[in-house]
Structure 1
Amino acid sequence: MGHRFERQDKVELSATPEQVWDAIATGPGIDSWFMGRNDVVPGEGGTVSTLFGGYAPEAPITAWEPGARLAYGGEQDEDGRFVAYEFLIEGRGGGSTVLKVVTSGFIPGDDWADEFEAMSKGGALFFDTLATYLTHFAGRTAAPLTVFGPPVGDWTRTWASVRAALGLGDEPAEGDRVRFTVDGRVVEGVVYSANSQTIGIRTDDALYRVLQGFHGALVAGHHFFSTVDTEPEWQAWLAGHSQEGNLR
């Protein structure tokens, strides 16, 4: 059976078209809002590659128009699975920019619904992160940190534990204030994105994200513009809240 999908997101930004292009078409730029470590071999026929955990996709670039349009992905697996991305940049007066992102693809199998939901919720977080990065940190590059927690049994308990640790209620929303502790250090910020599977938090010098990984573990995907948190302290943080979902 399977499911073909297309998602369109659009935002007007105070960043320039050049800053938007750098964010989507260079390795350091993508590192500052996506996941893991990224590399771009520029030009049509080049590639966009990502490495985090055991996941290492490499997508061919199908359109390369600096400052205007970037497209990559779209190669089908044997079962028909594929995902493709297109970024359209339109400069406006006063140095502002309209960015449109189109994500399309196909998920095979009769059990596509859970994967599609996770992809949709994660995609919303990544788009909001890109917009937040370009609004508050345009022209700067971040050190990324991606950490996977242990497998979770009960997501309801785990997600409730995460929200409580962040000082958030049952339905977090953009603009909510956040205060949490990591390895004895207090972090304060504001929610810039939230849905039933993801939470994004902006501080003065970082973007923190916690999400339910489709592979069954809690994931942290952060970006640091000054000091950098360490993997062990976030492994401990994730494990502590994952444990709530594994209690019998």
Structure 2
Amino acid sequence: MGHEFEVRRQVELAADPEEVWQAIATGPGVDSWFMGRSQIEPRQGGSTRLTVGGAVEEATITSWEPPGRFAYRTGRGEDGTFMAFEWLVEGRDRGSTVLRLVHEGFLEGDWESEYEAMQSGWDMYLHTLAAYLRHFPGLRGTPVSALKVGAAGPERAWAALTGALGLPATAAVGEPVSVAPEGLAPIEGVLDYADPFSCLGVRTGDALYRFLHSGERRGDAVFLAHHVYSGGAGEQELGRAWQAWLERLFPAS
């Protein structure tokens, strides 16, 4: 049976409203902190297009009021499913901004698992948005992703990831990270996000690295959602290198 849902989030950002608007309402801006690749047609009635791992989600822009309100909605599937998003941008003193998100819609199938994943996912991605605007303002990030389905259960995956990153299993935000992944440039930074058994986040001087676990009900997948803010290797090259790293970390049983 299907189920209606709503996720509400609010975050204060160290950026002015125009900077926040550029980050949430332009393709290059969204690419700098969110998953996949985005295209946004800047007008009411225009379209948005999100491509993740070959899957494409399209929506119609229902509100375009820069830099204060941006909303868009997908069409309804045959089973009644749809997604709708509303972003509200409010400037505050000292150049900061409060950003409010309302994500609602209708889910089918294992909707509870999907809803839980949405909540934790938005917590992580909004934290990533805040880190991007604070530490890499004005830069355009290259999204780098990799996926291993059936990698391991949450506890085993967490142990493998923290171990590979040189962190204790009880890793806490602020701990230093120093690791040289095989086939990749060394990573020197700090742990900037930790949701045990679900997500690890590392910030370096030129990148935000995100290591996520889907949960048992969603295939025990480990997903990497990194953003690199320096030149050098391209998106495809980095994606292949991180995919190889995942395959070595979680070999087929």
Same fold (TM over 0.5): yes
Does 2:208 correspond to 1:207? yes
C-alpha spacing 1:150/1:236, structure 2 compared with 1 (3 Å): farther
Q: Is the 8 A contact 1:43 1:64 kept in 2?
A: yes
Find the aligned partners of 2:194 and 2:83 in 1 and give their Cα distance.
Answer: 23
- Deviation of 1:77 after TM superposition, in Å, equals 1.5
Find the aligned partners of 2:8 and 2:144 in 1 and give their Cα distance.
Answer: 27
C-alpha spacing 1:79/1:93, structure 2 compared with 1 (3 Å): same
Find the aligned partners of 2:180 and 2:42 in 1 and give their Cα distance.
Answer: 40
> Could you say which residue in structure 2 is the equivalent of 1:231?
239
Letter of the aligned partner of 1:226 in structure 2?
S
Q: Is the 8 A contact 2:145 2:242 kept in 1?
A: no
- Deviation of 1:112 after TM superposition, in Å, equals 2.1
Letter of the aligned partner of 1:105 in structure 2?
G
Find the aligned partners of 1:193 and 1:105 in 2 and give their Cα distance.
Answer: 28
C-alpha spacing 1:37/1:74, structure 2 compared with 1 (3 Å): closer
CA deviations 1:26-63 (Å, max 9, x no partner) are 11000100011111111111112111212110111111
CA deviations 1:73-121 (Å, max 9, x no partner) are 2532121222221111111222221111122222213x32222222222
Q: Is the 8 A contact 2:184 2:241 kept in 1?
A: no
Q: Is the 8 A contact 2:36 2:52 kept in 1?
A: yes
Find the aligned partners of 2:171 and 2:82 in 1 and give their Cα distance.
Answer: 32
- Deviation of 1:187 after TM superposition, in Å, equals 0.5
Find the aligned partners of 2:80 and 2:170 in 1 and give their Cα distance.
Answer: 36
Q: Is the 8 A contact 1:150 1:239 kept in 2?
A: no
Percent of counterpart pairs with the same letter?
45
Q: Is the 8 A contact 2:92 2:98 kept in 1?
A: yes
> Could you say which residue in structure 2 is the equivalent of 1:16?
16
Letter of the aligned partner of 1:178 in structure 2?
V
- Deviation of 1:215 after TM superposition, in Å, equals 5.4
> Could you say which residue in structure 2 is the equivalent of 1:95?
95
SS at match of 2:86: strand
Letter of the aligned partner of 1:125 in structure 2?
M
> Could you say which residue in structure 1 is the equivalent of 2:226?
222
C-alpha spacing 1:184/1:145, structure 2 compared with 1 (3 Å): closer
Does 2:73 correspond to 1:73? yes
SS at match of 1:57: strand
Equivalent residue runs for 1:1-248 within 5 Å:
1-109=1-109, 111-182=110-181, 183=183, 185-195=185-195, 196-213=197-214, 214=218, 216-228=220-232, 230-243=238-251, 246-247=252-253
Q: Which runs of 5+ in 2 are unaligned?
A: none
RMSD of Structure 2 on Structure 1 (CA): 2.0
Letter of the aligned partner of 1:116 in structure 2?
Y
Q: TM-score, normalised by structure 2?
A: 0.88
- Deviation of 1:150 after TM superposition, in Å, equals 5.0
Q: TM-score, normalised by structure 1?
A: 0.89
174-183 or 159-168, larger mean C-alpha shift = 174-183
Find the aligned partners of 1:218 and 1:42 in 2 and give their Cα distance.
Answer: 34
Q: Which runs of 5+ in 1 are unaligned?
A: none
67-76 or 32-41, larger mean C-alpha shift = 67-76
SS at match of 1:64: strand
153-162 or 21-30, larger mean C-alpha shift = 153-162
Find the aligned partners of 1:137 and 1:75 in 2 and give their Cα distance.
Answer: 34
- Deviation of 1:5 after TM superposition, in Å, equals 2.1
CA deviations 1:196-230 (Å, max 9, x no partner) are 32222111111111112445532211111114552
Letter of the aligned partner of 1:191 in structure 2?
L
